[in-house]
Chains A and B, each alone.
Chain A
Amino acid sequence: MLQEKSLIQNCISLGIRIFNVTLLIAALGWGSYYLLSSAGYQFNFNAVFKYFNVFNNGLWMTIQLSLSAFGLSIIFGLIIALGRMSKIKLIADISLTYVVVFRNIPLLVVIAIFNWGIGSSFPEVSIFVWSILALSVFEASYIAEIFRGGIESIQKEQVESAQSLGLTYLQCLRYVIIPQALRSILPSLTGQIVTLVKDSSLASIIGLLELTLASRTVVGSTFAALESYAVIALYYFIVCYPISIISTIMEKQMRKNLQNPN
Chain B
Amino acid sequence: MKIKIDQISKWFGKNQVLRNVSMEIESSLVICGPSGSGKSTLARCINGLEKVQAGTIYVGETEVTSPKTNIPQLRQKVGMVFQAYNLFPHMKVIDNLMLAPTKVLRRSREEAYETAMSLLEKVGIPDKANVYPDQISGGQKQRAAIARALAMKPEVIIFDEPTSALDPEMIQEVLEVMKGLVKDGITMIVITHEMGFAREVAANIAFMDNGELIEMAPPEQFFNRPASPRIKDFLQKVLL
Contacts and interface: CB of A to CB of B under 8 A. Distances in A.
Given A160-B49, A163-B49, A165-B148, A262 B88 contact: no
B89 A165 contact: no
Interface in B96-140: 99-100, 103-105, 130-132, 134-135
Contacts of A258: 89-90, 132, 134
Interface string A164-180: 11111001000110011
A219 interface: no
A175 B145 CA distance: 17
A158 B87 CA distance: 8
Given A258-B89, A262-B131, A165 B152 contact: yes
B211 to A, nearest CB: 21
Nearest to B148: A165
A157 interface: yes
Q: Which residue among B82, B86, B92, B145 has the maximum number of chain A CB atoms within 10 Å of its CB?
A: B86
B162 interface: no
Given A157-B84, A258-B132, A262-B131, A166 B76 contact: yes
B88 A158 contact: yes
Interface string A136-172: 0000000000000000000101101111111110010
B149 interface: yes
Contact of B72 (A157, A167, A260, A261): A167
**A interface, size bucket:** 20 to 34
Contacts of B105: 166
Interface string A238-262: 0000000000000000000111111
B131 A163 contact: no
B82 A165 contact: no
Nearest to A169: B72
Contacts of A183: 90
A164 B88 contact: no
B35 interface: no
Contact of A166 (B72, B87, B90, B135): B72
Contact of B73 (A158, A160, A166, A259): A166
Nearest to A157: B86
B47 interface: yes
B116 to A, nearest CB: 13
A168 B130 contact: no
A160 B76 CA distance: 13
B84 A166 contact: no
B33 interface: no
A165 B79 CA distance: 6
A167 B47 contact: no
B141 interface: no
Contacts of A259: 132, 134
Nearest to B71: A163
Contacts of B104: 165-167, 171
A208 B177 CA distance: 67
A35 B103 CA distance: 64
B85 to A, nearest CB: 8
Interface of A: 155, 157-158, 160-168, 171, 175-176, 179-180, 183, 257-262
Interface of B: 47, 49, 72-73, 75-76, 78-80, 82, 84, 86-90, 92, 99-100, 103-105, 130-132, 134-135, 145, 148-149, 152
13 contacts: A157-B82, A160-B86, A165-B79, A165-B104, A166-B75, A166-B76, A166-B104, A166-B152, A171-B104, A180-B90, A183-B90, A258-B134, A262-B130
